[in-house]
Amino acid sequence: MTFVDTWKKHDFAAVAASIATRTTDDVRRALAKQGRGLNLDDLAALLSPAAAPFLEEMAALSQRLTVARFGRTMQLYAPLYLTNVCANICSYCGFSAQNRIPRKALDDAEILADGKAVAAFGFDHLLLVTGESSRYGFAYLQNAFRLLRPHFSSLSMEVQPLEEAEYAALTAEGLSAVLIYQETYDPAVYPKHHLKGPKADMAYRLATPDRLGRAGVKKIGLGALYGLSDWRAESWFLGLHLQYMEKNYWRTRYSLSFPRLRPHEGNEIPVTPFNERELVQAACAFRLFSQEIELSLSTRESPHFRNHAYQLGFTSMSAGSRTNPGGYASEPESLEQFAINDDRTPAEVAAFLKSVGYEPVWKDWDASYDGASAPTVAAVN
Amino acid sequence: MKTSPLVIAGVTLRSRLFLGTGKYSSGSVMAASLAASGAELVTMALRRVRTDGAPDDIIDHLDAQQYRLLPNTSGVRNAKEAILAAELAREALGTNWLKLEIHPDPKYLMPDAIETLLATRELVKRGFVVLPYIHADPVLCKQLEEAGAAAVMPLGAPIGSNLGLETRAFLEIIIAQSRVPVVIDAGLGTPSHAAAALEMGADAVLVNTAIAAATDPVAMGAAFKLAVEAGRLGYEAGLAGRASKAAPEAHATSPLTSFLA
């Protein structure tokens, strides 16, 4: 049994149609629960057009619930792109295999140089990112973990789906979190955007969080890529996925992200609507649905938006991101995966947060918690 | 109005009310009370029933066609004794269903979390359908689920206290994350307590003292039957919740969202 079995019980188009019929009363009922014990019907109401006039109320409740659980803090993080080599052809991604761009994979010296550049910003955790290829798969990642582990207390990754045993092996190397976005839960749309390569297998991707849960990965990030299909139904399926994961892999923490399609190398594709107001609605709906879930706010969004939305339910923000391999130190001019929208430095983002009474969090783990997998003092020195 | 059936270990039960058999004034009062309650699953302490084939006031009053027996290990103090009692119960009563309860403390009869988990692991290996009685401890419930428990039976309040859902905040978490049925056991003193348990999403309740020690145990059995049905029906109907005062655009200003276009 994996999430695929649960996912198959719900028809995407029917879910989208059902959300459209939610009423003001449905929204009121969901709001009245004040963030306690909301079910998937409540989530549908909060994601529906009927909830749009209640956005201020949702935002105020979301803010209150978030502060109660997380305080006025914001995790800052930055991705380190190890390679843009990719075997997949995906319509929306700059790394897509059919794009004739220079391909780059960082070598040991470059990995260390970029890692140290990120550490110099003040980050004590690091998110490793790659495309999908057999050449830069498990063994390449394992090597990168061994190089970087002494410089960060926690390492997370957003890379191709791996097997359960590979996740377990990387956990022993210090892997603490894996972000694996489904891109779309809509079976009519998924094949149109994932044309070739291993990623064309939708079911394998859907079952990836199950493999992560079984491997005992401490934190799993779920999400959809907004712009491919109906955002309300995507979000509802994300809620379904979250609920399934929390029940089955209860030792794991979860985070959600709301990436919107950004300009990228390659052909223009039609983008379904998901504006800033709707992004706030989705984030607040999830905060009311789950007081415990971590919500991430991407550098895909503008400084103006981030400077206001930070307090509406989010718990982490990327800052100073470079989305190209070597972007921090070793090869700043290589091709990026997508164009970021907030190019402030981590220090500038942190200064803003402090100015509004929020504490930027640079370190939120200690390698000693990893028990047997923790590096020895000798290895660190 | 029909509600969805309760299934435990592949067996569909006709009632979400489970009953105990202790504290009744006589076997015939017990039988009348059980009949009025509509219960199907009935628990009895192994230590109270005759296992040597001699006449027994509890077993002899239970129509084997009407009731499914749930022997319990009341009186054992650790996992080792529980396993022994379980094997005896399976032998004597011809069922592999077991309500596992281990209380080393004879005063408050508090369940022992550690011994219960150990015993559950072993009993599942031995082919028992194990329903452990435990504190309203969400982590323990998940561990018991992983150990193979067929349901979990967290307590609502100290056993025999009739205090109701004192552990509500923890029960809500248990219900939200459980993959096996949640049966609230112990402490339910009135029909309204049982209704509240079902309303909040519990799959069933187990009641003994509140019915057996009532002035009229037969009428009280009937009252709990209605309460459990009402609570479940209410849960499935979707509670309306407290009315939200919120009205669209009720805010003269929108301090948090006015930055949005």
Residue A176 backbone phi and psi in degrees, to 5: -115, -25
Where in the sequence is the domain holding B129, given as residue range(s)?
Answer: 13-237
Spell out the residues 6+ positions from residue A102 whose beta carbon is closer than 8 angstroms to its own: A334, A335
Q: pLDDT tens-digit profile of A273-312?
A: 899 999 999 999 999 999 999 999 988 899 999 999 999 9
Let me know if domain A3-380 sits in CATH 3.10.290.10. no
pTM of the predicted model as reported, rounded to 2 decimal places: 0.85
Q: pLDDT tens-digit profile of A92-148?
A: 888 888 888 888 899 999 999 999 999 999 999 999 999 999 999 999 999 999 999
Q: What is the pLDDT along chain B (261 residues), one digit of tens a residue?
A: 778 899 999 999 999 999 988 778 788 888 899 999 999 999 988 877 776 667 777 777 777 778 899 999 988 999 999 999 999 889 888 899 999 999 988 778 899 999 999 999 999 999 999 999 999 999 999 999 999 999 999 999 998 788 999 999 999 999 999 999 999 998 999 999 999 999 999 999 999 889 988 889 999 999 999 999 999 999 988 776 655 566 665 555 778 998 887
Chain B positions in Cβ-Cβ contact with residue A57 (cut-off 8 Å): 246, 250-251
Interhelix angle for A231-248 vs A276-289, to 10°? Answer: 30
Q: pLDDT tens-digit profile of A312-369?
A: 999 999 998 888 888 888 777 777 777 788 889 999 999 999 999 999 998 877 777 7
Contact B188, B209 (CB under 8 A): no
Chain A positions in Cβ-Cβ contact with residue B172 (cut-off 8 Å): 36-37
B178–A247 CB contact, under 8 Å: yes
Contact B43, B20 (CB under 8 A): yes
3-state secondary structure of A95: coil
Closest CA to B97 of B85, B81, B83, B86: B86
> Would you say residue B7 lies in a domain?
no
> Would you say residue B250 lies in a domain?
no
CA atoms within 13 Å, Cβ hemisphere of A160:
28
Q: pLDDT tens-digit profile of A61-108?
A: 999 999 888 888 899 999 999 999 998 999 888 888 888 888 889 999
Q: How many angstroms separate the CA of residue B218 from the nearest CA in chain A?
A: 36
Interface predicted TM-score of the whole assembly (ipTM), two decimals: 0.79
Interhelix angle for A138-148 vs A108-121, to 10°? Answer: 50
Q: Percent of chain A scored above 90 by pLDDT?
A: 73
Spell out the residues 6+ positions from residue B181 whose beta carbon is closer than 8 angstroms to its own: B6, B7, B8, B150, B151, B152, B203, B204
Q: How many angstroms separate the CA of residue B258 from the nearest CA in chain A?
A: 8
Q: State the alpha helices, DSSP H only, in A173-302.
A: 190-193, 202-206, 208-215, 231-248, 276-289
User: Under an 8 Å CB criterion, which residues of A touch B?
Assistant: 24, 28-29, 31-33, 36-37, 41, 53-57, 59-60, 63, 246-248, 250, 275-277, 280, 304-305, 308, 311-312
pLDDT of residue B102: 94
Closest CA to B151 of B45, B4, B13: B13
Chain B residue with CA closest to A36: the answer is: B172
The CATH code of the domain that includes B113 is: 3.20.20.70
Which of B254, B256, B258 is best to mutate for the A interface (most A CBs within 10 A)? B256
Q: How many domains does one find in chain B?
A: 1
CA–CA dist A314, A318 (Å, integer): 11
Spell out the residues 6+ positions from residue A252 whose beta carbon is closer than 8 angstroms to its own: A212, A213, A216, A217, A218, A219, A220, A245
State the Cα angle at B97 between B91 and B101, rounded to 5°. 100
Q: pLDDT tens-digit profile of A232-257?
A: 999 999 999 999 999 999 989 999 99
CA–CA dist B214, B24 (Å, integer): 9
Both tokens assigned to A287: 């905060």
Chain A residue with CA closest to B140: the answer is: A250
Spell out the residues 6+ positions from residue A244 whose beta carbon is closer than 8 angstroms to its own: A3, A6
Asked if pLDDT for residue A377 goes beyond 50, the answer is no
B172–A37 CB contact, under 8 Å: yes
User: Over the range A31-40, which residues count as b (16 or more CB within 10 Å of their CB) and which as e?
Assistant: bbbebebbeb
B249–A57 CB contact, under 8 Å: no
Q: How large is the average pLDDT for residues A374-380?
A: 43
- 3-state percent breakdown (helix, strand, coil) of chain B, nearest 5: 40, 15, 45
Closest CA to A133 of A87, A175, A167: A87
Q: Is the dihedral of CA A94, A116, A299, A59 positive or negative?
A: positive
Kindly state whether B259 is in contact with chain A, defined as any CB-CB distance less than 8 angstroms: yes
pLDDT of residue A372: 53
pLDDT of residue B243: 54
Chain B positions in Cβ-Cβ contact with residue A37 (cut-off 8 Å): 172, 176
Q: pLDDT tens-digit profile of A13-25?
A: 999 999 999 999 9
Residue A56 backbone phi and psi in degrees, to 5: -65, -40
Q: How large is the average pLDDT for residues A163-187?
A: 95
Catalytic residue list of B? 99
CA–CA dist A163, A152 (Å, integer): 25
pLDDT of residue B144: 97
User: Over the range A68-80, which residues count as b (16 or more CB within 10 Å of their CB) and which as e?
Assistant: eebeeebbbbbbb
Q: Is the dihedral of CA B51, B56, B58, B59 positive or negative?
A: positive
Q: Please name the member of A31, A250, A304 whose beta carbon is closest to the beta carbon of B244.
A: A31
Chain A residue with CA closest to B145: the answer is: A248
3-state secondary structure of A179: strand
**From the CB of residue B215, how many other CB atoms can be counted at a distance below 10 Å?**
6
**From the CB of residue A292, how many other CB atoms can be counted at a distance below 10 Å?**
11
Closest CA to B104 of B89, B90, B119: B119
CA–CA dist B255, B235 (Å, integer): 37
> Would you say residue B4 lies in a domain?
no
Rg of chain B over all Cα atoms, to the nearest angstrom: 20
Top-confidence residue, B41 or A268? B41
A277–B259 CB contact, under 8 Å: no
Q: How far is CA A297 from CA A119, A358, A360, in A?
A: 21, 15, 14
Both tokens assigned to A187: 């079976």
Chain B positions in Cβ-Cβ contact with residue A280 (cut-off 8 Å): 257, 260
pLDDT of residue B192: 97
Torsion, Cα A193 A331 A307 A359, to 10 degrees, reads: 120
A374 burial (CB, 10 Å; 0-12 / 13-18 / 19+) is middle
Contact A372, A172 (CB under 8 A): yes
A53–B241 CB contact, under 8 Å: no
Q: How many residues does this entry show for chain A?
A: 381
Residue A306 backbone phi and psi in degrees, to 5: -65, -35
Residue B132 backbone phi and psi in degrees, to 5: -80, 135
Q: How many angstroms separate the CA of residue A182 from the nearest CA in chain B?
A: 23
> Would you say residue B228 lies in a domain?
yes
Spell out the residues 6+ positions from residue B86 whose beta carbon is closer than 8 angstroms to its own: B71, B73, B98, B100, B119, B123, B126, B128
Element (H, E) at A3: helix A3-8
